[in-house]
Amino acid sequence: MAKCVSCSTKKGKRNCPALNSLICSHCCGTKKKVKINCPDDCYYLKSSLQYDIDKKYSHQIRFFENEMKSVVEKDDAYIHILQDIEMAIYRHYQERRTINDRDVETALEFIFETAFNLVIISSRRRFVESILVRKVSISFL
């Protein structure tokens, strides 16, 4: 097997379209878009970018879950609030068919900033739905 054309120490296992030769995974990972001008259609570049996106969203989901746990103070109790939020989003979508990801994100940010600062939420479902509908309606203006 041929040596990596970049470092000449490891086996080159990845076909690099920018160098038109084989390079090792370490050089590919550390030098992509820095020392190697990777084309946009490079398989390894696309895979790397997708991995970074997945990692970012995974971190955001864990952060959201931790925030929910800290708000409710019980590990499993937050699931009911999440279900209420999900149902409110679904109902709004079924009624209007105009909601998109950005609207949901804006509504959730609004809920975190205002609704969860309140200690008492008597009717969670109606409360969450009214905030979601109000915030989504405002975002369309």
Q: Model confidence over 52-69: pLDDT tens digits?
A: 888 887 877 777 777 766
State the pLDDT at residue 104: 81
How far is C-alpha 42 from the geometric centre of its chain's CA atoms?
23
Whether pLDDT at 23 is above 90: yes
Can you say whether the dihedral through the CA atoms of 34, 35, 40, 45 is positive or negative?
A: negative
Phi-psi region of 42 (alpha: psi -120 to 50; beta: other; left: phi over 0): beta
State the pLDDT at residue 94: 82
pTM of this structure: 0.44
Which stretch, 34-48, 56-70, 73-87, has highest mean pLDDT? 34-48
Least confident of 38-42, 106-110, 114-118: 114-118
As given in the structure block, the two tokens for residue 70 are 């800290």
Domain boundaries, the chain: 74-141
